[in-house]
Amino acid sequence: MPANILNLPCYKVLGIQENEHDYHIDVEAAEPPTSCPHCQSSNLVGFGRREQMVKDLPMHARRVGLYIDTRRFRCRSCGKTFYEALPEIDEKRLMTKRLAQRIGKQAIKRTFAGIAKEVGCTEFTVRAVFSDYVNELEKTTRFETPKWMGIDEIHLIKPRGVITNIQNNTIVELLPNRNKDTVVRFLHHLEGKERIQYVAMDMWMPYRDAVRAVIPQAEIVVAKFHVVRMANDAMERVRKSLRESLTPKQRRGLMHDRFVLLKHECDLNDKERLNLDGWTKNYPELGEAYRLKEQFFGIYDAESPDDAQAKFIQWQKSIPPEIADAFADIERAWGNWTMPIINYFNHPVTNAYTESLNGLIRVMDRLGRGYSFDALRAKILFAEGARKHKPSRPKFERQERRQPEPGPVMMHGLPGNFKNFEMADSFARMVPKPAPEPKPCIPTSTESGIPEKNYGADISTLIRMIENGEL
Ligand SMILES: [Zn+2]
């Protein structure tokens, strides 16, 4: 039995019992203490032993328990007794440090129950280890404060605040709710908050109040999609109010054609255009609503904030009184948020960002079952692989083994009986490759100790991971 089966050089393996599920491994510390921890004297004498069982990383799909034969000593100089210190053991729990590390990492993407079963501990322990692991990550991870920050809503069991870095398309924080106090507290503790230049948000007053209170220098911007979707909503309201006056058959027809109404005029094909004409000729209010919706989108062709505001006023004047109710929300929103809305025309939020955020909102429901908010937040912020430019685990690469020097016959190329590429390929693998180049002496940024900048969790990667069930 190999003494280093554990790959823990600080322990000597004394014996192994195994069954279908478990390894029970007797070990002792490889280097007993040489001096008294109280007085540093080296005059020690053995004073009994005790056995401690700690859990370790599963091996060969079996749970692993280490039975550590822990020695007790008495110091002849000061008379005190002590147990030898056990290296590589977690200070808080009866497990190795490396197991605690693994539980922490795994708990970000797997259920606590699954890990508990694999390791052979309780779910309660997994939860506690995970919580420590996340606390440690919080202390050691700092996301760059975005110059262009986004504050939006995301539904994770209930509505939460999501803080993003718009230029890098990343998430930097998830807040438990959307209250002003919560956002204020977050912004207040944010290092480098005075460098935030723009904050894009949905039209939610507590966000605006929080930003104005803590980072007044930041310009607030409301992105296009938050505004224009209100025009679609208004038109839907008109369509629904019309239903009352229709026969069941017409009602079904209108339901069927509602997608035509939501489309832009330029995107309609001939059949859809005919459909639309039918509805708008017979029901002028619906026609008006469609026109208003299209013209409202047209405001976003404006060249400048002033131009946009002028276009809006003109648009507002053209709202017929019969359907004014349906469009009242837009008018109110524009009135309450005029500056942030027209700021967009100087500082547009990219479509790429808007699309990825919407994508994330769509897949979020797949997360959430059986996890606390803290666990979900940690999953999203600290998911390995979601940090930009860092693969979670490199692909397993076949190792180049040292081969005997090739004989002279092999130097003349492939033997003639290598008929297909596959065989030629496997032959090629037998031929030793030249020794790898020595590693360059210039250290990478992480090796040199200069921390890499960390922009947060990449939204597109998160979406992919959630869709693939990797989170
Ligand atoms: Zn002593």
CA dihedral 158, 163, 168, 170 (to 10 degrees): -40
Q: How many angstroms does the Cα of residue 72 sit away from the middle of ligand 1? A: 13
Whether the predicted pLDDT of 358 surpasses 80:
yes
Query: How much helix, strand and coil, in percent to the nearest 5, is found in the chain?
Result: 45, 20, 35
Look at residue 439 in the predicted model and tell me its pLDDT.
41
Between residues 438 and 23, which one has the greater pLDDT? 23
CB contact set of 467 (below 8 Å; sequence gap of 6+): 363, 366
In the reported structure, the alpha carbon of residue 29 is separated from the centroid of ligand 1 by a whole-number distance in angstroms of 21
Mean pLDDT of the chain: 86
pLDDT over 90 (residue 403): no
Tell me which DSSP letter residue 96 carries: B
Q: What is the pLDDT of residues 230-261, one digit of tens each?
A: 999 999 999 989 888 888 888 888 888 888 88
Question: What is the rounded average pLDDT of the residues 305-328?
Answer: 96
193 vs 210: CA distance, rounded Å: 13
The domain ranges of the chain are 1-89, 92-140, 225-343
Strands (DSSP E) along 134-204, which ranges? Answer: 148-156, 158-165, 170-175, 198-201
302 SS3 class: coil
82 CA to centre of ligand 1 in angstroms: 9
The alpha carbon of 95 and the centre of ligand 1 are apart by a number of angstroms equal to: 29
Identify which has the larger pLDDT, 87 or 390: 87
Q: How far is the CA of 44 from the centre of ligand 1 (A)?
A: 8
What is the Cα Rg of the chain in Å? 33
How many Å lie between the centroid of ligand 1 and the Cα of residue 81? 8
- Report for 15-29, 133-147, 252-266: range of highest mean pLDDT: 15-29
Would residue 456 be called left, alpha or beta, if left means φ above 0 and alpha means ψ between -120 and 50 degrees? left
Res 226: pLDDT: 92
Cα–ligand 1 centroid distance for 35 (angstroms):
8
Q: How far apart are CA 126 and CA 105, in angstroms?
A: 11
Higher local confidence (pLDDT), 364 or 11: 11
Q: What is the DSSP track for 417-457? A: T--SHHHHHHHHHHSPPPPPPPPPSSPPTTTTTPPPP---E
pLDDT at 292 over 80: yes
Which position has the higher pLDDT, 254 or 42?
42
One-letter identity of residue 167: Q
User: How sure is the predictor about 443, in pLDDT bands with cuts at 50, 70 and 90?
Assistant: very low
- What pLDDT does 327 receive? 97
Q: Ligand 1 centroid vs 32 CA: distance in angstroms?
A: 15
- Alpha carbon of 75 to ligand 1 centroid (Å): 5
What does the buried/exposed string (b/e) look like for 314-338 if buried means 16 or more CB atoms within 10 Å of the residue's CB?
ebbeebeeebeebbeebbebbeebe
Q: Tell me the mean pLDDT in the region 279-302.
A: 93
**Among candidate residues 457, 263, 459, the one with its CA nearest the CA of residue 361:** 459
Query: What is this structure's pTM?
Result: 0.73
Per-residue pLDDT at 368: 62
| pLDDT for 392 beyond 90 | no
Distance (Å) from CA 48 to ligand 1 centroid: 17
What's the pLDDT tens digit per position in 411-433?
A: 444 444 444 444 444 443 443 44
Q: Residue 277 region, left (φ>0) first, then alpha (ψ -120 to 50), else beta?
A: alpha
The confidence band for 149, taking pLDDT boundaries of 50, 70 and 90, is: very high
Q: What is each CA distance from 343 to 15, 145, 338, 339, 389, in whole angstroms?
A: 72, 22, 8, 6, 32
Contacts of 128 (CB under 8 A, 6+ apart): 93
Maximum Cα–Cα distance for the chain, whole Å? 105
**pLDDT for res 386:** 75
